[in-house]
Amino acid sequence: MSQAADGVLLIHAFPLDHHMWDATAEDLRAGGWRMAAPSLPGFGGSEGTGSVMSMGSASDRCMQALDAQGIERAVICGLSMGGYVAFEIWRMARQRVAGFVLANTRSGADTDEAAEGRRSLAAKLRAEGSGFLVDAPPPLLAAPLGEGHWPRVLSSIGEQPAEAIAAAAEGMAERRDSTPDLGTIDVPCLVLTSEKDTLIPPATTLEMAEHIRDAQAVTLAGAGHLSNVEAASAFSEALTDFLGGFRNV
């Protein structure tokens, strides 16, 4: 039996803003879906929430965006950092979750080493600004730097305040382990990854599907970490197919 949903929530990755979803949003509108795609605190010109953007404060911002669009029960689609926020929404407001799309993300918390790396990044951002991140970005795309979608991605990174990026890094460093929550997810879930993601390897993402009772898994060919950007058509097709199992009310 199909599930009821009255909209889709798109939660962006680090260190971008809601514009990373522009192509996806256009495809969703064409399919008649209502949608919310907020910029998380401090990103995209939005108001920040202090020196640490916790996953809880990001979840609150998402709930506000759903309320603003009149969406009561949504399919929650989070990519990378957006997936971390999606897990927090499940803990805080699961009655508003009709389903999940967990894309290029993981359930586990940071290791001590990874958390320290994020805090070091935050300190550097506060000391130097974000120019170094634009000059030497993380491997967000599979294409070589300077080709394909890189100009747009680098422009978006450069538009984000260094303090917002730092606060998000601090928040991810302290996020909780969501692996125990996977077994509690009782709504349909699409676990999506891409074969050339080196930031969160496909095996790490796909492992989550083994612990969610109603999960399907999709691996997109040719794309890196920002699968919705680098393989926009394939991502939208997988998302639209998944949404076909929901009644758009």
At residue 247, the pLDDT reads: 82
State what percent of residues in the chain have pLDDT above 90: 97
Concatenate the DSSP letters of all residues of 41-108 into one string: TTSTT----SS---HHHHHHHHHHHHHHTT-SSEEEEEETHHHHHHHHHHHHHGGGEEEEEEES--SS
- pTM confidence score: 0.97
d(C-alpha 200, C-alpha 104), whole Å: 6
- Beta-bridged to residue 2, according to DSSP, are none
Range of the domain at 222: 3-248
Instruction: Look at residues 189, 192, 245 and name the one whose alpha carbon lies nearest to residue 223.
Output: 192
Residue 2 has pLDDT above 70, yes or no: no
Model confidence at 38, pLDDT cuts 50, 70, 90, reads very high
Residue 88 has pLDDT above 60, yes or no: yes
Model confidence at 1, pLDDT cuts 50, 70, 90, reads very low
Residue 10 has pLDDT above 50, yes or no: yes
Instruction: Look at residues 123, 126, 127 and name the one whose alpha carbon lies nearest to residue 115.
Output: 123
Write out pLDDT tens, residues 112-153.
Answer: 999 999 999 999 999 999 999 999 999 999 999 989 999 999
At residue 249, the pLDDT reads: 67
User: Domain with 223 in it: what CATH number?
Assistant: 3.40.50.1820
State what percent of residues in the chain have pLDDT above 70: 99
- Tokens linked to 39: 């910029």
Write out pLDDT tens, residues 92-107.
Answer: 999 999 999 999 999 9
At residue 100, the pLDDT reads: 98
Write out pLDDT tens, residues 184-193.
Answer: 999 999 999 9
Residue 164 has pLDDT above 80, yes or no: yes
Total tally of structural domains belonging to the chain: 1
Write out pLDDT tens, residues 47-73.
Answer: 999 999 999 999 999 999 999 999 999
Residue type, 38: P
